């Protein structure tokens, strides 16, 4: 397992190219199961989660080819490299436990498989470091379209005869809308008979991106990005080309990194509209952001104000930036309060940030952060994707050296993060855990 050795005291300055969205790429790749023709996705990032989805789609009968990367426009590492996906056989309809346990987002093959093959067998995804990850809303929505489910040895088996039938349904849950649940039901409805209306649908940009891909393929979807999505079922979907939207969470992470280090970053391939709540909050804490088309200029040269934030479904402040924001406000001038409404247990980063000298107290799904003058380097452990990003940001500003163990977590969702950060002034070394000497 690799670790990062980070020499703190960096002011980030320079240009970073944002990669394509991980959380959009995964459902887009799954949607390619719904056509017999070749689909080309551009801007799919090189991440371990994407590799996992490539393995899964290969098991499900797809041939997948990744073309070479093009040089980055910022002098950073080469990114992109189009991905060609084509179904060549439809004999295996099972997403096996060995893959699903590695990446619970494998669940996003459920809707496409049912739509195209009338059968899907997916291992129950189980929980993860950020909490229980139920799929009851996925099942409820697909059942309303006519899918019959049964459970066997930890697997969900969904199947039906004939054709799914569209209907009007409410898809929200106690914790609000479901992103992948909305996408799963939207995919299934795209090839169903008649009209489906999803009320209480998720509004995230990743839902919009998937609906836009399906429409390019021949689907008839409207209302994506609003809580009510209409889908007029069609008989056939074609293979097309599509560019993935920029990764708003990677972009938000680097915005916070610039703020934390009192740096100046020029971020390319961004869509600030996808970060409206973050943009609004950043101005309150004293971070300047300017925008020129798909480029963002972010800088800060002062101690930041404390903030009160609650994570919410889109367009609210995203839960996937909660840990990184907590890292930032560890150094704010006063007391901040962060409440987690989507995954109430998503606080494994608190203990690790406190090891770096932060003063954070957690009480149920709320954390109170008393700003300190500085953090100091220590050995810490990554626990999940976004918590590990928060630890990298903290390591950049902590005095002395910080070691972060188990950085495989960060490789799931941040393409070449140490190359991108080192190109703008960071000093991060990736070492095998056995080569790391204790601090």
Residues recognised as catalytic:
128
Site for ligand EPZ, rule CB under 6 A: 23, 26, 105, 133-138, 173, 175, 178-181, 202, 206, 319-320, 342-343, 385-386, 413
Q: Over the chain, what HEC string results?
A: CEEEEEECCCCCEEEEECCECHHHHHHHHHHHHHCCCCEEEECCCCCHHHHHHHHHHHHCCEEEEECCCECCCCCCCCECCCEEEEECCCCCCEECHHHHCCCHHHHHHHHHHHHHHCEEEEECCCCECCECCCCHHHHHHHHHCCCEEEEECCEEEEECCCCCECCEEECCECCECCHHHHHHHHHHHHCCECEEEEECCCCCHHHHHHHHHHHHHCCEEECCCCCEEEEECCCCCCCCEEECCECHHHHHHHHHHHHHCCCEEEEECCCHHHHHHHHHHHHHHCCEEEEECCEEEEECCCCCCCCEEEECCCCCECHHHHHHHHHHHCCCCCEEEEECCCCCCCCCHHHHHHHCCCEEEEECCEEEEECCCCCECCEEECCCHHHHHHHHHHHHHCECEEEEECCHHHHCCCCCHHHHHHCCCCCEEEEEHHHCCCC
In the complex with ligand EPZ, which residue's Cβ is closer, 326 or 398?
326
Closest separation in Å from C-beta 315 to ligand EPZ: 11
Closest separation in Å from C-beta 113 to ligand EPZ: 17
In the complex with ligand EPZ, which residue's Cβ is closer, 254 or 343?
343
In the complex with ligand EPZ, which residue's Cβ is closer, 136 or 290?
136
In the complex with ligand EPZ, which residue's Cβ is closer, 200 or 377?
200
Closest separation in Å from C-beta 320 to ligand EPZ: 4
In the complex with ligand EPZ, which residue's Cβ is closer, 297 or 408?
408
């Amino acid at each position: 397992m690799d670790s990062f050795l980070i020499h703190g005291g960096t002011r980030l300055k320079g240009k970073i190219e944002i990669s394509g969205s991980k959380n959009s790429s995964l459902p887009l790749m799954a949607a390619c199961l719904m056509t017999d023709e070749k689909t080309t996705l551009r801007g799919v990032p090189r991440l371990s989660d994407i590799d996992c989805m490539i393995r899964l789609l290969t098991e499900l009968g797809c041939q997948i080819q990744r073309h070479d990367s093009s040089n980055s426009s910022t002098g950073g590492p080469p990114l992109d490299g189009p991905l060609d996906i084509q179904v060549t056989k439809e004999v295996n309809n099972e997403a096996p436990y060995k893959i699903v346990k590695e990446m619970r987002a494998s669940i996003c093959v459920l809707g496409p498989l049912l739509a195209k093959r009338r059968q899907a067998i997916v291992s129950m995804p189980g929980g993860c470091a950020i909490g229980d990850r139920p799929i009851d809303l996925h099942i409820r929505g697909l059942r309303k379209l006519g899918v019959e489910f049964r459970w066997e040895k930890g697997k969900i088996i969904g199947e039906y005869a004939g054709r799914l039938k569209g209907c009007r349904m409410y898809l929200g849950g106690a914790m609000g809308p479901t992103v992948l649940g909305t996408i799963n039901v939207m995919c299934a409805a795209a090839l169903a008979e008649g009209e489906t209306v999803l009320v209480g649908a998720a509004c995230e940009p990743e839902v919009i991106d998937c609906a836009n891909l399906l429409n390019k393929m021949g689907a008839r979807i409207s209302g994506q990005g609003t809580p009510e999505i209409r889908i007029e079922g069609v008989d056939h979907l074609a293979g097309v080309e599509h560019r993935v939207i920029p990764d708003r969470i990677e972009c938000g992470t680097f915005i916070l990194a610039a703020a934390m280090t009192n740096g100046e970053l020029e971020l390319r391939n961004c869509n600030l509209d996808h970060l409206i709540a973050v943009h609004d909050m950043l101005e309150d804490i004293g971070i300047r952001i300017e925008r020129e088309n798909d480029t963002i200029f972010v800088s800060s040269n002062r101690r930041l104000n404390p903030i009160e934030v609650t994570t919410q479904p889109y367009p609210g402040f995203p839960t996937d930036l909660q840990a990184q924001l907590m890292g930032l406000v560890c150094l704010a001038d006063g007391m901040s309060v962060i409440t987690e409404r989507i995954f109430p247990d998503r606080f494994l980063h608190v203990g690790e940030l406190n090891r770096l000298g932060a003063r954070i107290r957690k009480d149920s799904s709320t954390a109170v952060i008393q700003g300190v003058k500085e953090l100091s380097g220590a050995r810490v452990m990554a626990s999940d994707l976004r918590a590990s990003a928060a630890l990298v940001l903290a390591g950049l500003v902590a005095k002395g050296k910080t070691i972060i163990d188990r950085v495989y977590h960060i490789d799931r969702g941040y393409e070449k993060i140490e190359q991108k950060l080192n190109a703008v002034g960071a000093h991060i070394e990736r070492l095998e855990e056995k080569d790391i000497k204790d601090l």
